[in-house]
Structure 1
Amino acid sequence: MFMTIFGILGCTAILITGFGMKDSLNGIIDNQYKKIIHYDIIGVYNPDASQKEKGDYDKAVNDIKGVKKKDNVYFESVTAKPKGVIDNQQITMMVPEHKNTFNDFVTLRNIDNGHKMKLKNDGVAITQKLAKLGHYKVGDHMNIQDKAGHKHKVRIAQITQMYAGHDVIMDSSYYQKAFDKKVKYNGKIINLKDRSDKNINKVSRDLNSQDAAMTAVQSNQSKTAINTILDGLDNIVLIIVLASSALSFVVLFTLTNINVSERTRELATLRVLGFYKRETVMYIYRETIILTIIGILVGFIGGYYLHQFIMSTLPPNNAMADMTLYWTNFAISTGLTLLFSFIVMLIMARKISKIDMLGALNSVD
């Protein structure tokens, strides 16, 4: 009984984890680039360039065809070293010119209920994975180091959902308070109507060709990297499914075979007493079905916690997986396990029907 339950538990848990891994990484794409990130390009330029160069850059932005929305933003790469983390974490710091419309480019979402948030003026918004790494809570302070090597202490006013990368976002008034200077916008954040990779690359090249240009940050760069991982994950999920399926089949076949072999005389007695073949098979297999169902139900719990453990430790420090397990994972895992159980039942039915009743009854235990 325990061997069957634990064997099916392991099979079901591994199946749920395998399918769940794929869904969790797919969830990064769906959540990050459909619900959170809406901008396509941040064109970063030198704010100290000549007026002509900056004017040419503005003209290049205005000449872009198919711009849905655009705004000024301050963009800088900073670093922080959260408590308990060995390496410095690379962080994208953004200060939008108009905080009330910033959700059109990056939606700030509450980590508890997913509701939209607006930037506050009494602190910064940091991403969920950064908060988890440093064990930060709302109201705590953290130090960030700018590109000049100067450290600045900022207060955490909000923690927002983000699945790839670390971000620190603040409004212009808090930037002036924390950095003791007025913000000097150095970027154009742009939403395009045509969001294809080809068009985004073309616009980036046009912006980077300007004398004032420093770089063009594309939101689809991380998306491409994640899609590459997902392509390779399909083979891993296939291996997991095949391995767990083989485990299920071997466990059920071996234990059912042992059960039948040890109870040959009992089965022969039933046949002699007038039981039909189907009744004799179900006499044995009713136990197997009940134990299989118990193993599947316990496997749901094991699969949930195994998936949570793997998906919380697998992503790197600058990424976070979607921990949601869909009902389809449980349904498919249950269906496959029951299918293998049915196949084993067909095989065992043939073996039971071929039992030599006379020889079994005459044998000495």
Structure 2
Amino acid sequence: LSYISGIEHIAAVEPVLESGMEISNGWMKKDIGLLALEPGATLYGITDREGRPAALPEQGILLPARLMDTLQLKVGNKAYLRSFYPGKNEEENKKAAPVMGVVSQFMGQSAVCSTDYVHYLLNEGAIVNAAYIKLDDPKFEQEVTDRLKGILSLEAIKSKAEIVANTQKAMEAQNNIIVFMILGAGILAFAVIYNIANINIFERRREIATLAVLGFNPAELKSLVFNENYFISALGIIGGILPGRLLLQYVVTMQNTDEMQMPVVLSPLSYLIAAALLILFTITANLLLGEKVTSINMVESLKSAE
């Protein structure tokens, strides 16, 4: 690590231990990763489920919320960890570890603890097998990566750009599904608004014809019919905010897997775009049906029975 920290453009190096372990709670068990960080480490960035910085406990472990739900664990409960290292993977080698908090993880599922605490879990002295590196300027990422590849003792190097690219590639299929869902929702919203307005005009054609005979001009007739559409759309926007968010949370939760979890992120801009699209669909439907209002046959409509 001292050699790596001396490479040009490397601003900081933090050693970590990455290992695999079995975690269990009663009859429930799961194979997970173990990430041990040095006290005061900042490059990994531990956060809780609300995205706030989380403190690394001196004793115990931090677990992702989904793993805690799977194993039915709560903060303060004890989980049992067993190493995969030969000679230390027997049942009697299990170590009890208190769950000290919840950590946010979107890729994989790993327990997080301090490098001091991992000595207790593994019955080993100081041991690290990986490191996080911070550059003084991201533009030197490829140059530093090439230099690190020349170190024979390094088995793998993962850059931030590479991880982001792989994640984006994995998300391409999801993005296509999302686009089709948005298009489908838009078409459905337009169809509903158009049909409601069309039915409204048909059922009120006698009333519209009467008003036309009384001297209402086309603009006034249109406003009489279409203002109701704007009112209904406004109610839909206001009333759909909470159900829409809950539905999104449900859909995203159903898409989550053990290896990848997607957070629900809804900014104010998302609500504004949804509202703007609904208003656009309403205006478009009204424009398409405007001629239908003015083309009502007054004589035939007034002759029709109530």
TM-score (norm 2): 0.85
Q: Matched residues in 2 for 1:68 and 1:295: separation?
A: 53
Matching of residue 64 in structure 1 with residue 7 in structure 2: yes
Q: Matched residues in 2 for 1:224 and 1:129: separation?
A: 25
Task: Evaluate the alpha carbon distance shift between residue 269 and residue 189 of structure 1 in structure 2; reply closer, same or farther with a 3 A threshold.
Answer: closer
Match of 2:123 among 161, 173, 180: 180
Match of 1:90 among 23, 29, 32: 32
Q: Matched residues in 2 for 1:189 and 1:362: separation?
A: 83
Deviations 1:260-305 (Å, cap 9, x if unpaired)? Answer: 1122211111111112212212222222222222222222222111
Q: Is the 8 A contact 1:129 1:319 kept in 2?
A: no
Match of 1:158 among 92, 101, 104: 101
Amino acid at match of 2:150: D
Task: Evaluate the alpha carbon distance shift between residue 206 and residue 85 of structure 1 in structure 2; reply closer, same or farther with a 3 A threshold.
Answer: farther
Match of 1:135 among 72, 95, 108: 72
Q: Is the 8 A contact 1:83 1:133 kept in 2?
A: no
Task: Evaluate the alpha carbon distance shift between residue 186 and residue 225 of structure 1 in structure 2; reply closer, same or farther with a 3 A threshold.
Answer: closer
Deviation at 1:137, TM superposition (A): 2.4
Which residue in the other structure is 1:357 paired with? 298
Matched length? 299
Q: Is the 8 A contact 2:20 2:31 kept in 1?
A: no
Q: Matched residues in 2 for 1:255 and 1:172: separation?
A: 64
Amino acid at match of 2:146: K
Which residue in the other structure is 2:47 paired with? 109
Q: Is the 8 A contact 2:36 2:112 kept in 1?
A: yes
Task: Evaluate the alpha carbon distance shift between residue 317 and residue 300 of structure 1 in structure 2; reply closer, same or farther with a 3 A threshold.
Answer: same
Deviation at 1:180, TM superposition (A): 3.3
Gaps of 5+ in 1: 1-56
Aligned sequence identity (%): 18
Q: Matched residues in 2 for 1:85 and 1:325: separation?
A: 34
Q: Matched residues in 1 for 2:73 and 2:197: separation?
A: 53
Q: Matched residues in 2 for 1:116 and 1:223: separation?
A: 22
Gaps of 5+ in 2: none
Q: Matched residues in 1 for 2:127 and 2:220: separation?
A: 83
Which residue in the other structure is 1:51 paired with? none
Task: Evaluate the alpha carbon distance shift between residue 188 and residue 254 of structure 1 in structure 2; reply closer, same or farther with a 3 A threshold.
Answer: closer
SS, match of residue 150 in structure 2? helix
Q: Is the 8 A contact 2:145 2:157 kept in 1?
A: no
Task: Evaluate the alpha carbon distance shift between residue 280 and residue 311 of structure 1 in structure 2; reply closer, same or farther with a 3 A threshold.
Answer: same
Deviation at 1:331, TM superposition (A): 0.9
Match of 1:125 among 34, 37, 62: 62
Q: Matched residues in 1 for 2:81 and 2:275: separation?
A: 49
Q: Matched residues in 1 for 2:162 and 2:19: separation?
A: 17
Q: Matched residues in 2 for 1:219 and 1:131: separation?
A: 28
Match of 2:142 among 190, 198, 201: 198
Deviation at 1:353, TM superposition (A): 0.8
Amino acid at match of 2:55: K
Task: Evaluate the alpha carbon distance shift between residue 194 and residue 90 of structure 1 in structure 2; reply closer, same or farther with a 3 A threshold.
Answer: farther
Deviation at 1:69, TM superposition (A): 0.5
Deviation at 1:315, TM superposition (A): 1.8
Task: Evaluate the alpha carbon distance shift between residue 363 and residue 157 of structure 1 in structure 2; reply closer, same or farther with a 3 A threshold.
Answer: closer
188-197 or 289-298, larger mean C-alpha shift: 188-197
Greater relative CO (CA pairs within 8 A, separation 6+): 1
Amino acid at match of 1:245: G
Amino acid at match of 1:325: L
Task: Evaluate the alpha carbon distance shift between residue 120 and residue 254 of structure 1 in structure 2; reply closer, same or farther with a 3 A threshold.
Answer: closer
Alignment map for 1:226-305 (pairs within 5 Å):
226-305=167-246
